[in-house]
Amino acid sequence: MEGMESAGTCVDPKQKIDNACPESEEDIKQKAEQFKEEANKHFKEKNYEDAVCLYTQAIGVYPKSAVYYANRSFAHLRLENYGYALEDATRAIENDRKYIKAYYRRASAYMSLGKFKPALRDFEAVVKVKPKDKDAKLKYTECSKIVKQKAFERAIACNEYDKKPIADSINLDTISVESTYDGPKIPDAGITADFMKELIETFKNQKKLHKRYAYQILLEVKKIFFNLPSLVDVTLQKEEKLTVCGDIHGQYYDLCNIFDLNQLPSKENPYLFNGDFVDRGSWSVEVILVLFGFKVLYPEHFHLVRGNHETDNMNQMYGFEGEVKQKYGGNMMEFFSEVFNWLPLAYCVNGKVLIMHGGLCEEDGITLNDLRSIDRNRQPPESGTMCDLLWSDPQMQQGRGRSKRGVSCQFGPDITSKFLQDNGLDYVIRSHEVKHEGYEEQHNGKLITIFSAPNYCDQMGNKGAFITLEAPHLKPKFTQFQAVKHPEIQPMAYANSVMRMPGMF
Active site residues: 309
Query: Residues 430, 435, 437, 443: what is their CA dihedral angle, to the nearest 10 degrees?
Result: -50
Q: Is 455 left (phi over 0), alpha (psi -120 to 50) or beta?
A: left
Residues 258, 484: Cα–Cα separation, whole Å: 10
Q: Are 71 and 40 in contact (CB under 8 A)?
A: yes
Residues 481, 489: Cα–Cα separation, whole Å: 21
DSSP string, 370-435: HHHT---SSSPPSSSHHHHHHH-EE-SSSSEEE-TTSSSEEE-HHHHHHHHHHHT-SEEEE--S--
**In this structure, which long-range contacts are made by residues 206-210, counting pairs with CB atoms below 8 Å and at least 24 apart in sequence?**
206/487, 207/183, 208/183, 208/327, 209/183, 209/184, 209/289, 210/177, 210/178, 210/181, 210/183, 210/185
**Backbone φ, ψ for residue 346 (5° rounding):** -165, 160
Q: Are strands 439-442 and 447-450 parallel, antiparallel or unpaired?
A: antiparallel
How many Cβ atoms sit within 10 Å of the Cβ of residue 322?
22
